[in-house]
Structure 1
Amino acid sequence: MRSTSLTTCPLLLSSPLLSSPLLSSPLLSSGLQGCRRFHSSAVNYSSMLLEADSERLYVGARGAAFALNASDISASSALTIEWEASHEEKSRCLLKGKDNKTECFNHIRFLQRFNSTHLYMCGTNAFSPLCAYVDEERFVISSQPEEGKDKCPYSPTTGYTALIIDQQMYSASQYDFRSFPDIRRNSPSPTLKTEDAPTRWLNEADFVGSALVRESFGSDGGDDDKIYFFFTEKSQEQTTTYSHSRVARVARVCKGDRGGLLTLQKRWTSFLKTRLTCSLPEYDFHFNMLRSVFVTPGDTPQDTRFYGIFGLEWKNVKASAVCRFSLSEVQEAFQGPYMENQDSGSKWKEYTGKIPNPRPGTCITDALRARGINVSTSLPDDVLDFVRRHPLMSRQVQPSDGRPLLFRRTTDYTRMAVRVFEGLDGQMYHILYMGTDDGWLHKAVEVNGKLHIIEELQLFEDPQPVNSLLISEKQMSVYVGSPTAVVQLPLSSCRRYTSCYDCIFSRDPDCGWDGAECVDVMTHSNRSTLIQDIQHGSMGCKQAQNGTRSVRVGDDALLQCELSSNLATPVWTREGSEVQGYDLNSGFRRGTDGLLIIEARQDQSGTYTCHSLENNVRVAIVSYNVTVRLDLPPPPPVEPDRDSFVVYLSLITILGGLCVVLTVVLVYVGFCLRVGQRGKYSLRAHRGSAHMELQTISSHCNGNGLCNGVAKMHNGGLEDGGLLQIVPGEAYTSPSREPPPPECDFPSGLSATLPSVLRRMHGNSYVLLRQSDSENTSPLCHSFSEELNKILEKRKHTLLLPRPDESSV
């Protein structure tokens, strides 16, 4: 049995957004209110189907499908179908060179309703696709799975889209990993597909979505319904304007297409495609990678809108744009000039020759029926041959208003869903929910050709992409699928706005201010009492909060102003005039938490007001009546606390003791270092001796103040117990005097300069006091014992300094 976990969502804080020319600001969220979460041992929740009537949410994952309670996906009534690939299929997948950790599983890529009693789902099945019918009531596979290689892609990551329309399945993908991309009608007969010779209709296409538009509804000319497919493919146009290797496309086929009789047999006779453009010329950004599409139907087919998420072709640059297109503009492009490719090795150019009649690529209409052409198999061969060689249209589809609704830096949107809602002003607003590649959900509203971001919510603690997104008006919920879980959120969370300003400035069509709190418009009984301003986000609230501040001359004063919107800019005014300059010389400094008055002067008195500026909308937040006075009473003295005094005294005593200890240690360390720095003679290891240790022993001091030490040479020639004596005396100080004699090698393995250079020393000198005498002394050197006796004899007549210099030993 597959384990499942049904939990509520933890509180996750939202983070600030980055600014952009077309971006408005969300309110910082305090958490995911009303959130529900479903996850199990399965992963990759990529397919979702919402059944509003049955209140079920069907979810397809890797190796399993689930039927969840749409009102609360965390309820314990979840049903499960386990559909894993067999061991033999996984073994064959490995032999194909596929990954046994990600690819050699049954990833459910398709899950839709087939009829009133059954669902239809398809899975990759370890690179051997299968499809099956599912009994909706019992939620079990009702028949033996059937071959799915023409309906489902082999790979879990291949671009794919599919629809079931009147029990006919229309799909688009690269099915076999060795095949070309294709748009197909799979069942029932006749099956159709796109052409791949002599002109390939699809060039490395990556599909992201499809939609049925009932264009026959209310049509005066008896037009046919059409299926639109959205994808990105390798560019074919020859143009000097764009140099991108891949471009976004929209293609369409007629629902009643039956293929040609001889030419284009079992091929589409109505296939046409054109380019979708989404760019910001002023930034030289051309968003040519289509990631997701959502279609919103209008009152008429011509009012249908397409919302698309576009990205850049450069993989190392994160940026997204949202563009909106109208169906009428797409229809005009399909009525425009064609492109042609006379030489298969060159780019496509606009066709300027004669166009056959009836117009190639059109659906069967009343005008054609009047000419005896009732089905596509009756179309003339010259028309079909023209369609075969001219699938691409020359006219590009431009976005509404000629530019994106939203341009977002450092964000990659992956999925989107759109709903239409009527605001309190009677206008219809399109509300967008957009998921990101790192697990965030952005809610936005379209206002005057731009998207205003209402809120930004973090759905998962660990970054992960949003794989699927659905909206339910009935359940008032948005459902998000990801690699690890499914999340259910309310369409709006108005109660997180705690003030009139927050509620109105959010410009959320779902929320209104009732005078005391921010409430959900859909659930409020009397809408006439609510305040809402979606167009501007600045009308309806009372005056800003007022406060009074008295400041003494020369003191600093902070006037606080906290903005809920993380992209709003604070603007300060004094007596209606904007406070200019924020450096130290101006007497003011603006910060994120307010305005600082520096060394207040009497001429800085007045009424200060903090405004929130965003999207050219200025709203007063808080006002201060500031008075700068000379005669403010000093603050009352603070009585000392006896217990605190004892604690402070103890701390001072302890710190004082530590200081004394540190002082002694430092004096000792400094004393030691000075010997090494002031010594005139060095003890050097002979023949690579490794280590020397010099240790002072106080018991070796004689009555004359001379101390002996123990010199130890490890791995050297110095015998243990060799003594080193520090002798106050005269040192060789003048370079003009007689140079020191050459160094002599002693049997001990040490080399030292002869002590005969110790003259007129006004400090301490270091002399080897006891070493083994040897007959092998260098002839250039006096006997060490003789030279030492001479020095000691001389020291009898030398006046020692009463206070010899300090020496570090």
Structure 2
Amino acid sequence: MTDWAPTWRVLVLVGLLDTCQVLLIPRTTFITGSPGRSLTHFISPGIENTTTLLLSNNGSTLYVGARDAVFSLNVGRPGIMEIRSKVDWSPAEKELQDCTRKGKSEMDCHNFVRVLQFLNATHMYACGTFAFKPTCTYINRKDFSPTGQEVGQGRCPYDPYQRNTAIAVDGALYTGTVANFMGDRHVVSRFMSHADLRLDESQGWLKDPTFVGSTFIPSEGKVYYFFRETSMEYTFINDYSISRIAQVCTSDVGGKLIMQNQWTSFAKAQLRCQADTELPFNIIQDIVTLPPPEGDNPDDTLFYGVFSSQWSMASGQSAVCSFRLGDIKKVFAGNYMKLNRNTLQWGPRHKEKVANPGECGLSNATDKLWFVKENFLAEGSVEPGDQGLTLVSPDQLYSRIAAQRTRASSGKDFTVLFLLTESGFLHKTVLLDKGPHIIEEIQVLKQPQSVKNLLLSITKGVVFVGSSEGVFEVPVSNCSFYLNCAECVLAQDPFCGWDPNRLSCVELSTISSDVAQDVEFGNVNKACKIQTDPYICICSYHGPSRKPGICAVEYGGEASLSQGIQTGGATLGVPKRQP
């Protein structure tokens, strides 16, 4: 019996480790009201649907687009959100009546602000659905007063539930949205520039797209759009959704003889989030840009996207994939397929390539523009980075993502993802060489909701969540929750380290020397410089409506099992202490 015991313990330990890695179990869970993870929550009577967020450059003011209002919050002090200014912006009674007469619900006929961008140092630009009649206005940032109103068609969706994207570059507004009341005309446009441009579905440029994001890459002089649409290149399957990246040049002025007032630099390609032998995660939900470290090659810019699958038999509910700018540029510089304008079907191109679609400065090149007009879909697909799928969750549907890079005490950089689930939990996840590790999950929203937003401020060290339940401020680190060196190291949180002088787990940036931290492995004995730690929790399973977790524990050199303890409404990822 004695001979078999160590083998049994090893098998249990290995089995639990495999389970943790496969199921991506959050190490610690904080439900609403848990004292161990305080959140700052702004809510005010009469202010609803606070879903559009914009942070000032100095990080002291958060601008919020809401239902029938735009307002600013003072967020200069940690843990405090106070309203500073507010603009009421409601449709008139006649406009509300016209909206309901067209068959829309009274609730949806309010003005939901869906575009909020800085145009320059003095003014913001805001657009709202405005009773299914999109409208925009300029807001003076100094006295927070609106100036005039203008038609918002092509700049903002009609329906508050339709997704859109907008970004301001050098005073011009680049948008991707629905451009008619029926919701079946989608456009990619530029406004308020020396040459306003547009393209839409009528010529096969797009096919029922849903826009999820856009970003400006200064080194390329291009705006990149991210969206999903119905595929036209695969004829063997109907209604197949496909994720896309498209590019346009900020210097584009449209064609001179043909393609006047249209993009001459538009090109698009497939984003493929797929493991070799698995069904693809083909529906992009959200995207975030992670610039390279300062001084590094801009081609190392990464785009982290959250994807789901349209097939229930896929290997998981959600996946995260990253795409490198250098790989995207290679695909756009490659071959292109040809569009048959009669059938709107894509096929192989037989003629010689006479232009590079997506190239800037083609306005006067008529022969090249004819080529671009029929060859704007890249033949190749943008594949995920070297590690393949960054993360696959079998049981969580992620809807929003934020990302940052931070340096551990070892000098190694780690990427931390903040993933918002459909059920309203925020998963803080660090990407390790051996795979992703969910440090903690925090319940932010009480009710699932389709329209929400996530905004990360690296300088402030907080994540803002905009929702129908108000605005939440979530600190990126929660170091003081860990009561001793072992717990601090086992969290594998790159923001946290054990300070042997203060005998506390604190933010890494506040420790001058002798920090105890091991993000990659969580090796307590090595990091805490002790011979034998009395307890080491390898993994735990816990959360709302779940039983206390089972931990694999190394105690006195032997593996054993112990139940996780309940602390502040959450299960702490360490076992009960041995006497």
SS at match of 1:382: helix
Counterpart in the other structure of 2:233: 237
Paired residue type of 1:233: E
1:518 to 2:505 alignment: yes
Q: Is residue 71–residue 83 contact of structure 2 (8 Å, CA) maintained in 1?
A: no
**Contact conserved, 1:465 with 1:482, CA < 8 A, in 2?**
no
Q: CA deviation at 1:167?
A: 0.6
CA contact (8 A) 2:42 2:471 kept: yes
1:762 aligns to what?
none
Does 1:98 find its partner at 2:73?
no
Structure 1 outlier segments of 4+, above 6 Å:
315-318, 560-564, 572-579, 619-624
Task: Give SS of 1:90's match.
Answer: helix
Is the alpha carbon distance of 1:423 and 1:132 closer, same or farther for their aligned partners in structure 2, counting shifts above 3 Å? same
Match of 1:21 in 2: 22
Matched to 1:566, the amino acid is Y
Aligned counterpart for 1:202 among listed residues 206, 213, 217: 206
Q: Contact conserved, 1:23 with 1:408, CA < 8 A, in 2?
A: yes
Which residue, out of 104, 112, 116, partners 2:117?
112
Residue segments in structure 2 that go unaligned for 5+ positions in a row = 1-18, 543-548, 566-572
Letter in 1 for 2:309: L
**Greater length-normalized contact order (CA 8 Å, ≥ 6 residues apart):** 2
Q: What's the CA shift for 1:268?
A: 0.8
Say whether residues 1:335 and 2:333 are aligned partners: yes
Pick one of 49, 53, 62 that aligns with 1:48.
Answer: 53
Residues 452/344 of structure 1: CA separation in 2 closer, same or farther (3 Å cut)? farther
Alignment partners' CA distance in 2, 1:334 and 1:134: 38
**Separation of aligned partners in 2, 1:238 and 1:333:** 19
Distance in 2, matches of 1:277 and 1:513, equals 41
Distance across 1 between alignment mates of 2:209 and 2:47: 30
Structure with more strand by fraction: 2
Contact 1:23–1:453 under 8 Å retained in 2: yes
Matched, 1:507 2:489: no
TM-score normalised by length of structure 1: 0.62
Task: Output the CA distance in 1 between the equivalents of 2:426 and 2:450.
Answer: 10
Q: Which residue of 1 aligns with 2:422?
A: 437
2:301 aligns with 304
Structure 2 counterpart SS, 1:94: helix
Residue 334 of structure 1 aligns with an amino acid whose one-letter code is F
Provide Cα deviations, 1:593-616, integer angstroms capped at 9, x if missing partner.
69xxxxxxxxxxxxxxxxxxx9xx
What is the rounded CA distance, in whole Å, between the counterparts of 2:171 and 2:344 in structure 1? 41
Q: Aligned equivalents of 2:38 and 2:576: distance in 1?
A: 29
Taking the TM superposition and a 5 Å limit, the aligned residue runs for 1:320-719 are: 320-342=318-340, 344-345=342-343, 347-356=345-354, 358-364=355-361, 376-379=362-365, 381-401=366-386, 403-448=388-433, 450-464=435-449, 467-515=452-500, 516-522=503-509, 524-526=510-512, 528-538=513-523, 539-541=526-528, 542-546=530-534, 565-566=540-541, 570-571=551-552, 592=563
CA separation in 1, counterparts of 2:518 and 2:445?
Answer: 32
- Displacement of 1:78 after TM fit? 2.9
Determine if contact 1:52/1:474 at 8 Å carries over to the other structure.
no
3-state secondary structure, aligned to 2:214: strand
Task: Quote how far apart the aligned CAs of 1:340 are.
Answer: 1.8
Structure 1 segments unaligned to the other structure (5+ residues): 1-17, 217-224, 365-375, 547-559, 580-589, 595-613, 625-809
Amino acid of the structure 2 residue aligned with 1:27: T
**Which residue does the alignment assign to 2:173?**
169
Output the CA distance in 2 between the equivalents of 1:465 and 1:31.
Answer: 28
SS in 2 for 1:194: strand
- Equivalent residue letter for 1:254: C
Q: Deviations over 1:326-368 (max 9, x none)?
A: 0001101101111123374374233243111x4343123xxxx
**Contact 2:40/2:81 (CA < 8 Å) preserved in 1?**
no
Question: Which residue of structure 2 lines up, in the alignment, with residue 287 of structure 1?
Answer: 281
Shift of 1:105: 0.7
State the AA in 1 paired with 2:507: D
Q: Where does residue 132 of structure 1 map in the other structure? A: 137
Q: CA deviation at 1:571?
A: 4.3
In the alignment, residue 175 of structure 2 is paired with which amino acid?
S
Aligned-partner Cα distance in 2 for 1:196–1:243: 18
Decide whether the 8 Å contact of 1:46 with 1:467 is kept in 2: yes
- Tell me the CA shift for residue 188 of structure 1: 2.4
- The residue type equivalent to 1:172 in the other structure is G
Inter-CA distance 504–572: structure 2 relative to 1 (3 Å threshold): closer
Superposed CA offset, 1:288-337 (max 9, x none): 11111001122332111100010122589981111111000110110111
| Root-mean-square deviation (Å) | 2.9
CA distance in structure 2 between the partners assigned to 1:572 and 1:430 by the alignment: 28
Give the direction of change, closer, same or farther, for the CA distance of 1:83–1:448 in structure 2 (3 Å limit).
same
Q: Within 2, Cα distance between the matches of 1:537 and 1:578?
A: 17
| Aligned residue type for 1:277 | R
How big is each residue's C-alpha offset from its partner over 1:768-787, in whole Å with a ceiling of 9 and x where there is no partner? Answer: xxxxxxxxxxxxxxxxxxxx
TM superposition shift of 1:465: 5.6
Provide the TM-score with structure 2 as the length reference: 0.85
Quote the residue 2:222 is aligned against.
226
Partner Cα distance (2:134, 2:110) in 1: 10
Q: Is the 8 A contact 2:323 2:383 kept in 1?
A: yes
Could you list the per-position Cα deviations for residues 528-587 of structure 1 after superposition, in whole angstroms to 9, with x for gaps in the alignment? 2211111212241334455xxxxxxxxxxxxx99777437864478996778xxxxxxxx
Deviation track 1:454-495 (CA, whole Å, cap 9, x = no partner) reads: 110011344446711112233222111111210112121101
Which residue identity does 1:46 align to in structure 2? T
Distance in 1 separating the partners of 2:491 and 2:144: 42
How has the CA–CA distance of structure 1 residues 212 and 336 changed in structure 2, closer, same or farther, with 3 Å as cutoff? same
Name the structure 2 match of 1:745. Answer: none
2:303 alignment partner AA: F
The number of residues matched between the two structures is 533
1:251 is aligned to 2:262 = no
**Cα deviation, residue 406, structure 1:** 1.0
SS in 1 for 2:497: strand
Matched, 1:262 2:260: no
Letter in 1 for 2:67: R
Deviation of 1:246 (Å): 0.5
Counterpart pick for 1:57 among 50, 54, 62: 62
The reply on whether 1:156 has 2:160 as its aligned counterpart is yes
| 2:5 corresponding residue in structure 1 | none
**Which residue, out of 35, 41, 54, partners 1:37?**
41
Residue 187 of structure 2 is aligned to residue 182 of structure 1: yes
Alignment of 1:717-796 (within 5 A): none
- Amino acid aligned to 2:54: L
Q: In structure 1, what is the Cα distance between the partners aligned to 2:486 and 2:446?
A: 30
CA distance in 2, matches of 1:184, 1:313: 29
Asked if the contact 2:485–2:516 (Cα under 8 Å) also holds between the matched residues in 1, the reply is: no
Change (3 A) 1:382 1:456: same
For the 8 Å contact 2:48–2:469, the answer to whether it is kept is: yes
1:45 shift after superposition = 1.3
| Higher radius of gyration, 1 or 2 | 1
Decide which moves more: 326-335 or 424-433: 424-433
Q: Secondary structure at the match of 1:302?
A: helix
- SS state at 1:201 partner: coil
Structure 1 residue identity aligned to 2:433? N
> Are the aligned partners of 1:502 and 1:564 in contact in 2 as well (CA < 8 Å)?
no
Distance in 2 of aligned mates of 1:124 and 1:506: 44
Q: Tell me how far apart the structure 1 counterparts of residues 20 and 539 of structure 2 sit (CA, whole Å).
A: 15
Identity of aligned residues (%): 32
Give the match's secondary structure for 1:384.
helix
Structure 2 SS opposite 1:145: strand
**Residue 81 (structure 2) pairs with residue 85 (structure 1):** no
